[in-house]
Amino acid sequence: MKKTKLAPHTQKLGRPFLWRCTSCKKIVESAAPEKCCGSRTRQLAPVSEPSKMWFENFADTASLVFIPPSEIIPLTGVVSDREVNQLALAAGRDLEKILVGKEIKCPRYFEVYNGKTKHVRVSDLKTKKSFVSALSSAVKHRKRDLPAKKTAPFGNLIELGHVMDEFFEGIMAGIESENWGEGERVNFYSEQIELTVTGSPDLSFRGIPVEMKTTKLLPTEEMGKGDRSNFKQKWKSNYLSQIAMYSHASSKDWMLLLLISRQTGEFTVLPVDGREKLARLQKDWSKWVNNERVRQLLANYS
């Protein structure tokens, strides 16, 4: 039998695989994904020893402190309205009080990202490459289960990003507050593509959708030139695009972005208006559907 060669920094996953219900969060072992509570399950992988060691150091130095929006560098789409900014400040200060004394403990598992999908999602409409990839996968796997992932990131920055997302999502899921709650699933319709996609903002604050993102460092004036350039690129291509679609689907002109530093634990809450970004995306989508391959995939997907 031919031995499987793993790519650098990956761990091999074998049967039975671990799956977690997106609704009740119960973890089960199975060779293939199964529905639970009528919801999908997502595959998990154990956190590697190198990541556990890194997290121990993070726990010793991290400080879950709120950084006001006024200390964040100017970013496209961030709302300058005084009343809106007061609400963002209230959200940040309220969350800081909630997080005081929370145990910083490394998760046992993290969700394994699977590029294959059965449904096109909000996040897939950010770029033509991601859209065509998701659409091709959805057409291919429409009538069959997605195969389980056989490998997962191991002891590198990719895994650490997933582990930190898992940690903060776990903390937010345990919050009991009159102001904070889970995000509600939304449907976003693109007239240009004639397609409805779904997604879920992570949280809500006083009825305002909140998307949560982790980043290496918060974009303050102290951020180095290289890190600032990388962050601004991600802001335009990733964060702003998702905000644009989620806020429109929620019938809001703006929504909140909870941005957390993976390095320090510091966080900020920014009010973001994605309408200009949505207009640019709509122009892009109009161009995508002129492609013959895209039109054929859409016909097979519908």
pLDDT per position as a tens digit, 213-255: 989 899 999 999 999 999 999 999 999 999 999 999 999 999 9
Residue 291 is assigned to a structural domain of this protein:
yes
Residue 93 is assigned to a structural domain of this protein:
yes
> What separation in angstroms does the CA of 266 have from each of 61, 111, 198, 229, 237?
11, 23, 30, 20, 23
Instruction: Give the strand pairing for 208-215 and 255-261.
Output: parallel
DSSP letter (8 states) at residue 148: P
Nearest Cα residue to 194 out of 291, 287, 292, 285: 285
What mean pLDDT comes out for the span 95-102?
A: 86
Residue 41 is assigned to a structural domain of this protein:
no
Name the 3-class secondary structure at 261. Answer: strand
Domain residues for 193? 47-301
CA separation for the pair 91, 59 (Å, rounded): 24
Query: Distance from first CA to last CA of the chain, Å, rounded?
Result: 41
Per-residue confidence (pLDDT) for residue 214, from 0 to 100: 87
What mean pLDDT comes out for the span 119-146?
A: 91
Structure tokens at 184: 């509600």
What mean pLDDT comes out for the span 159-166?
A: 87
| Confidence band of 89 (pLDDT split at 50, 70, 90) | very high
- Of residues 205 and 115, which shows the higher confidence score? 205
> What separation in angstroms does the CA of 196 have from each of 74, 191, 244, 285, 293?
33, 9, 15, 13, 19
pLDDT per position as a tens digit, 54-82: 889 888 888 889 999 999 999 999 999 99
- Confirm if 196 and 125 have CB atoms less than 8 A apart: no
Residue 164 is assigned to a structural domain of this protein:
yes
Per-residue confidence (pLDDT) for residue 236, from 0 to 100: 94
Residue 260 is assigned to a structural domain of this protein:
yes
Residue 250 is assigned to a structural domain of this protein:
yes
| Confidence band of 138 (pLDDT split at 50, 70, 90) | very high
Residue 178 is assigned to a structural domain of this protein:
yes
Burial of 293 (0-12, 13-18, 19+ CB in 10 A): exposed
The rounded percent of the chain whose pLDDT value lies above 90 is 61
Structure tokens at 17: 């695989």
Domain holding 83: CATH number? 3.90.320
Name the 3-class secondary structure at 160. Answer: helix
pTM: 0.88
Bridge partner residues of 198 (DSSP): 121, 187
Residues 15/18/22/23 CA torsion (nearest 10 deg) = 110
- Looking at the 3D structure of the chain, how many domains does it have? 1
Per-residue confidence (pLDDT) for residue 113, from 0 to 100: 87
CA separation for the pair 116, 197 (Å, rounded): 16
CA separation for the pair 118, 141 (Å, rounded): 6
Residue 40 is assigned to a structural domain of this protein:
no
Structure tokens at 41: 């399950």
